[in-house]
Homo-oligomer: A and B are copies of this chain.
Amino acid sequence: MNSIALQLNKSLEGTQAGSLLSEMGKRFFFPRGIIAQAAEASKKATKYNATAGMAFNNNQPLILSSIKNSITGLEAKDYITYAPTPGDRELRELWLEKIKIKNPSIKEIHTSLPIIVPGLTSGISNCADLFLNPGDNIVIPDLHWGNYDLILKTRKEINIHTFKFFRDGRINIQSLKETLISSAKNGKVSLLLNFPNNPTGYSPTKSEAESIAQAIKDVALMDIKILVMADDAYFGLFYEDEIYKESIFSLIANLHNNVLAVKIDGATKEDYAWGLRVGFITFAGKGLTKEHTDALEQKLMGSVRSSFSSSPKLSQNLVKKALLSLDYSRDKAEFESLMKARYLKVKEILEKRTNGKRLKELPFNSGYFMTFETTPGYNERLREELLEVGVGTIALGDTSFRIAYSSVDKSNLEDLFSIIFSVSDNLQ
């Protein structure tokens, strides 16, 4: 194994992070190669810098006119050149600052500096690379984003163990805990949580969030090391007072020496920038010092460098500029109130409905979606039938039928649901 990798492994020895590393994770390191030498030169090579695999003229990067003419308010060097492997430093610092504002209870907790990846999928995939071996077990809710299967099972041959997400309209924490315990293997288990949950649009209440954390702690107390990944894609769109308004990461970040918390989030949904591909990975865990999280960052940079090299720089700088802009808070508040109004409208429609009662809505209180539970196979038949009348919906698994009210204007929701209900009523 490479000597830098060994050194990083040594730094992590005795920590939960060190114990949880996959074989690939153990091998990862950030080489002292071209990128490191170029970084050194960017500080010291004040006369001539002949390191970069880019083309410069008069200290400016070459750039096609059409591209240059499409961008306003950014210098070419701020978007056409390579971004650093871990991402733009200022954006990473700014994002961490925002994380701590949105999650005040971890204000004083040490975390790594977020590393930038091209979207949430890349965040999950790179974390799986770092921490999960083929054949390892991971626990996720039975109601989950379909891409988890492709990332974890198809790509990485990780065994997915699902827990029952709901019981009696609440998160089934007993099922979560039992599944964690029964899935532990060689003193290790992983958990991937996603709140607001896709597809249901459900986020835990304060007491549910605390019970989840307690369940994880109980398992940790059984001398089981636990990786907890918080997929916070839809973070922030919380429509009810009772919801726990921080990421579950807050309650895990300093929970127990056996628990490593990873926050995977991004501008994708939080900042309405789906196609820009700006995601972040942040580590924390009880007992982890800066030396430890630095080692994890170096390992993750090895994963980044060996899978996509660096994230799109233009996207990073657009997000940074947006976060710093005067319009930002106003825009976000406006969009959130738009989404909340739709949520309330959907709730009202469901409450008042007189037909379509075959469709049972699952609990929802946040995010972009709501999901009906159907009899097996009915969801796909209903989806196909609705397409025939020009209405697009999503059928997931055998029994989930998802509506993204995020993409339908409030004024159309009444009509949308009335079509869904009547098509459902007419479907044998």
Would you call A275 and B81 a contact (CB within 8 A)? yes
Given A331-B64, A383-B37, A396-B34, residue A312 in contact with residue B51 (CB < 8 A): no
- Chain A contact-residue range equals 35 or more
Would you call A121 and B309 a contact (CB within 8 A)? yes
Which A11-47 residues have a C-beta within 8 angstroms of B? 24, 27-29, 31, 33-34, 37-38, 40-42, 44-47
Which A37-79 residues have a C-beta within 8 angstroms of B? 37-38, 40-42, 44-58, 61-67, 69-74, 79
Interface residue A399 (Cβ < 8 Å from any Cβ of B): no
Residues of B with C-beta under 8 A to A147: 33-34, 305-306, 309
- How far is B117's CA from A405's CA once the two chains are assembled, in angstroms? 30
Would you call B118 and A51 a contact (CB within 8 A)? no
Would you call A407 and B51 a contact (CB within 8 A)? yes
Would you call A394 and B314 a contact (CB within 8 A)? no
Interface residue A362 (Cβ < 8 Å from any Cβ of B): no
Interface residue A404 (Cβ < 8 Å from any Cβ of B): yes
Q: Would you give the shortest CB distance from A59 to chain B, in whole angstroms?
A: 8
Would you call A48 and B391 a contact (CB within 8 A)? yes
Would you call B303 and A155 a contact (CB within 8 A)? yes
- How far is B311's CA from A122's CA once the two chains are assembled, in angstroms? 11
Would you call A58 and B308 a contact (CB within 8 A)? no
Interface residue A313 (Cβ < 8 Å from any Cβ of B): yes
Residues of B with C-beta under 8 A to A328: 64, 66
Q: Closest residue of chain B to A56, judged by CB?
A: B407
Residues of B with C-beta under 8 A to A321: 66-67, 70
Would you call A67 and B122 a contact (CB within 8 A)? no
Would you call A48 and B392 a contact (CB within 8 A)? yes
- How far is B383's CA from A407's CA once the two chains are assembled, in angstroms? 55
Interface residue A276 (Cβ < 8 Å from any Cβ of B): yes
Residues of B with C-beta under 8 A to A319: 67
Counted per complex, copies of this chain come to: 2
Most buried by B among A50, A314, A368, A388: A50
Q: Would you give the shortest CB distance from A344 to chain B, in whole angstroms?
A: 16
In the complex, per-residue mask of A301-334: 1 if CB is within 8 Å of any chain B CB, else 0 = 0110111111111110011011001011001100
Contact of A387 among B41, B119, B151 (CB under 8 A): B41
Would you call A274 and B146 a contact (CB within 8 A)? no
Contact of A154 among B29, B41, B408 (CB under 8 A): B29
Would you call A151 and B273 a contact (CB within 8 A)? no
Interface residue A412 (Cβ < 8 Å from any Cβ of B): yes
Q: Would you give the shortest CB distance from A33 to chain B, in whole angstroms?
A: 4
Interface residue A181 (Cβ < 8 Å from any Cβ of B): no
26 A-B pairs within 8 Å (CB atoms) are namely A31-B146, A42-B392, A48-B416, A50-B391, A53-B406, A54-B274, A55-B272, A55-B339, A58-B409, A63-B272, A65-B331, A66-B322, A79-B275, A79-B276, A81-B274, A118-B311, A119-B310, A121-B306, A125-B306, A147-B305, A147-B306, A150-B302, A151-B307, A155-B307, A277-B308, A312-B314
**Residues in chain A within 8 A of chain B (CB atoms):** 2, 5, 24, 27-29, 31, 33-34, 37-38, 40-42, 44-58, 61-67, 69-74, 79-83, 117-122, 125, 129, 145-147, 149-151, 154-155, 157, 198, 269, 271-277, 302-303, 305-315, 318-319, 321-322, 325, 327-328, 331-332, 335, 338-339, 368-369, 383, 387-396, 403-409, 412, 415-416, 419
